[in-house]
Amino acid sequence: MKRIEIGHGSGGKLTRDLIENVFLKYLKSEELTPLEDAALINLNNNRAAMTTDSYVIRPLFFPGGNIGKLSVCGTANDLVVSGAIPRYMSLGFIIEEGFPLEDLEQIVESISLTAGDAGIHIVTGDTKVVERNKGDGVYINTTGIGEIVKPMSAQNISDGDTIIITGTVGDHGTSIAIAREEFTIESRVESDCAPLHTLLTPLFEIEGIKWMRDPTRGGAATVLVELSETTGLGVQLIEESVPVREDVKFIAEMLGYDPIYLANEGKALIVTSKESAPEVIETLRKHPLGANSAIIGQVNSTFSGVRLKTKIGGERMLDMLEEEMLPRIC
């Protein structure tokens, strides 16, 4: 009998298989089939975006945030990268018996503060409690609704488009890895977990903006491999141009991870027309969260897949990982 494996939740290849072979087999629909981070819905003849995420992170508290902050940023950011202004959010808690009320209170306080920062209203909630050893402290589901301002679609992407990232890759994943390791690493790496609406919504005015995505599970590499599969176009990346913090690079190397596959929770990948790229970079760099924005590559119709031009001058193809390097990271 086939059974669920940890890799089915990785956001990588096994997750994709599960979605295609089980979920889409029964639930195929116009809205669900594109598998974007948020669905386009029509309410009273207005376009809105809807997105959902469950957070099963371990540990619950990490440098730069906790599961509460993360659960608000993740969902609010999925709306923004879909071209929507975040408006409303629901909050579903599944709490394990014995969980300290004090910790719960700290998580709820973070949710409140982050929702304020993200400009999103928490309007409805639900709480369930499960017995000891039937959960892992706290799981949180957040579902968000936003108003579409700038419809985005991978279908608009074409040869020669520019690929931009709004800052350093792998910060969130590295901070979780450190928080989880049993041996102690002296480090100042914090999660980049942050709401992105004030950084990204000014880009909605720029005509050449075609597509955005926040690189969470599986990191920037996984998002770009998916993009290449969806569009049938190639992605040419320049390793040297991909911003990575020195300490992230060092720690990731020590632990055997590749930062480009590690999650961010406060960054966006952006595809824009080549003509608009300078304006996009200029707009992003005005914002503290976009100070390290960089052009990291371009779309190329002459091949398929993601090619990374390495620093030493070689080239390698980036694949979707079968399994996450680090499970339960977001």
Question: Which residue number, 124 or 310, has a Cβ lying nearer to a copy of itself?
Answer: 124
How much is the CA Rg of the chain, to the nearest whole Å? Answer: 19
**Footprint (CB under 8 A) of a copy of itself, residues 191-210:** none
**Footprint (CB under 8 A) of a copy of itself, residues 31-50:** 31-32, 38-39, 41, 43-44, 46, 48, 50
Question: Which residue number, 119 or 305, has a Cβ lying nearer to a copy of itself?
Answer: 119
Q: How far is the CB of 271 from a copy of itself (least distance, A)?
A: 21
Q: How far is the CB of 205 from a copy of itself (least distance, A)?
A: 19
Question: Which residue number, 6 or 254, has a Cβ lying nearer to a copy of itself?
Answer: 6
Query: Does the protein bind a copy of itself through residue 226 (CB under 8 A)?
Result: no
Extended beta strands in 166-293, E state: 209-213, 234-238, 269-272
Q: How far is CA 19 from CA 23, 28, 132, 288, 330, in A?
A: 5, 10, 30, 37, 18
| Total residues binding a copy of itself (CB under 8 A) | 79
**Footprint (CB under 8 A) of a copy of itself, residues 76-105:** 87-88, 90-102, 104-105
d(CA 69, CA 74): 9
d(CA 181, CA 38): 33
d(CA 125, CA 121): 12
**Footprint (CB under 8 A) of a copy of itself, residues 144-163:** 145, 147
d(CA 53, CA 143): 6
Which run of H or of E encompasses 225? helix 219-231
Provide φ and ψ at 56, rounded to 5°. -125, 40
Query: Does the protein bind a copy of itself through residue 9 (CB under 8 A)?
Result: yes
> Residue 283: what residue type?
T
Over the window 49 to 78, marking each residue x when it contacts a copy of itself by CB under 8 A and - when it does not, the resulting string is -xxxxxxx----------------------
**Footprint (CB under 8 A) of a copy of itself, residues 105-124:** 105, 108-109, 111-112, 115, 121-124
Among 117, 119, 136, 319, binds a copy of itself (CB under 8 A): 136
